[in-house]
């Protein structure tokens, strides 16, 4: 059965499910907003100096001064977690932008020109995909030594094939649409068709997927820093903090669970919000 455009417009999801959906976007968005603001303005926040050691007040339990207690060197866990979150977000967003930029472009080109171009690009993507992801990241990091830019690139390379595949699959079906034929018939060049006709239709699926991938990148960065392969100390990272304090887990659980909570809430928020965004985009696409 085919519905006219006007009929499809009228069919919309209403009722309690919709309200649940709104809440599922609002709560994660609120946490992410607070997290990003805290990370950006960390130096201005009224919190203790995250680098100041106090060897007489190590492993203090949470108090009004130290919201999440202190670690084995007497440093404020809350302040360090905020700074660690900063690294997580920079790496998460940076590596996804890297993967999106390179992977998206490669996928667009492969899906539009097909033939040999597609064959080569797809072959390279398959090779990257055939590496165990974390092992590849560890190899890159231990070869070149830890630095922020390198973490971003190492994780970003891992995202290139996934974004390339999504861009390619969408481009393949878009290039068959008659509006692309119409653009060719009016004499538009390939570059114009790619940028003006195909790309605007790729933005929505890629953005929705990006949110989920930022969560994956943050987990990846946490794993690398847990192994001591991310940004070097004294810069705190969430994974590095967990690794350093795990010996004191029984006496001072806050020193481990503080950064873990930051990690957990951020990843959960990204996943839930990303899911909701994707679902809504799917609904909208289906209505077109």
Partner 1 sequence: MRDEVRPAHLRGDRADIVLSVHNLTKTFGTPSGAQVQAVAGVSFDIAAGETLGLVGESGCGKTTVGRALIHLPPPSSGEVVLEGRPMSGLSAAELRALRPRLQMVFQDPISSLNPKHSIADIVEAPLVVLGGIDRRRRQEQVREMLTAVGLDPDIVWNRRPHELSGGQCQRVSIARALILRPRLLICDEPVSSLDVSVQAQILNLLEDAKQRFGLTMLFVAHDLAVVKNISDRVAVMYLGRICEIAPSAQLYGRAAHPYTAALLASVPDPAPQAKRRIGRAIEGEIPSPLDPPSGCRFRTRCPKAAPVCAADEPVLRPIGPDHFVACHFPNL
Chain residues in the site for partner 1 (CB under 8 A): 4-6, 9, 177-179, 181-189, 192, 196-197, 200-201, 287-288
End-to-end CA distance of the chain: 15
**Shortest distance (Å) from residue 276 CB to partner 1:** 22
Cβ closest to partner 1, residue 201 vs residue 271:
201
Cβ closest to partner 1, residue 5 vs residue 135:
5
**Shortest distance (Å) from residue 284 CB to partner 1:** 9
Burial class (CB in 10 A: 0-12, 13-18, 19+), 12: exposed
CA-CA distance, 62 to 42, in Å (whole number)? 20
The tokens describing 149, both together, are 């830019």
**Shortest distance (Å) from residue 88 CB to partner 1:** 33
Cβ closest to partner 1, residue 183 vs residue 215:
183
228: left (phi over 0), alpha (psi -120 to 50) or beta: left
Cβ closest to partner 1, residue 117 vs residue 248:
117
Half-sphere exposure of 84 (CA within 13 A, CB side): 34
**Shortest distance (Å) from residue 180 CB to partner 1:** 8
What are the start-end ranges of the H helices in 5-57? 5-10, 16-40
CA 23 to chain centre: 21
**Shortest distance (Å) from residue 186 CB to partner 1:** 4
Three-state DSSP state, 159: helix
Cβ closest to partner 1, residue 45 vs residue 181:
181
Cβ closest to partner 1, residue 4 vs residue 130:
4
**Shortest distance (Å) from residue 176 CB to partner 1:** 9
CA-CA distance, 220 to 151, in Å (whole number)? 9
CA-CA distance, 200 to 189, in Å (whole number)? 16
Cβ closest to partner 1, residue 18 vs residue 177:
177
**Shortest distance (Å) from residue 132 CB to partner 1:** 34
What is the DSSP code (8-state) at residue 42?
Answer: G
Q: Do residues 235 and 79 make contact, with C-beta atoms less than 8 angstroms apart?
A: no
The size of the chain, in residues, is 288
């Amino acid at each position: 059965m085919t519905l006219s455009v006007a009929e499809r417009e009228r069919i919309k999801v209403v009722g309690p499910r919709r309200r649940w959906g709104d809440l599922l976007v609002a709560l994660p968005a609120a946490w992410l907003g607070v997290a990003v603001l805290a990370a950006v303005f960390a130096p201005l926040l009224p919190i203790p100096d995250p680098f100041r050691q106090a060897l007489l007040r190590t492993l203090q339990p949470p108090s009004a001064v130290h919201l999440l207690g202190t670690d084995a060197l007497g440093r404020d866990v809350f302040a360090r977690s905020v700074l660690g979150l900063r690294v997580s977000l920079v790496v998460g967003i940076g590596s996804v932008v890297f993967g999106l930029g390179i992977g998206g472009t490669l996928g667009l080109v492969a899906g539009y020109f097909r033939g040999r171009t597609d064959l080569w690009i797809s072959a390279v993507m398959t090779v990257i995909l055939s590496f165990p992801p974390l092992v590849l990241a560890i190899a890159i990091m231990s070869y070149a030594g830890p630095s922020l830019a390198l973490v971003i690139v190492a994780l970003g390379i891992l995202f290139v094939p996934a974004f390339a595949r999504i861009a390619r699959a969408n481009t393949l079906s878009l290039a068959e649409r008659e509006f692309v034929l119409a653009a060719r018939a009016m004499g538009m060049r390939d570059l114009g068709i790619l940028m003006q006709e195909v790309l605007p239709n790729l933005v929505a699926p890629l953005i929705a997927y990006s949110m989920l991938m930022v969560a994956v990148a943050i987990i990846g960065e946490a794993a690398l820093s847990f192994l001591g392969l991310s940004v070097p100390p004294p810069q705190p990272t969430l994974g590095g903090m967990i690794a350093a304090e795990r010996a004191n887990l029984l006496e001072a659980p806050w020193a481990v669970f503080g950064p873990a909570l930051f990690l957990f809430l951020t990843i959960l928020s990204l996943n839930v919000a990303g899911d909701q965004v994707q679902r809504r985009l799917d609904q909208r696409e289906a209505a077109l």
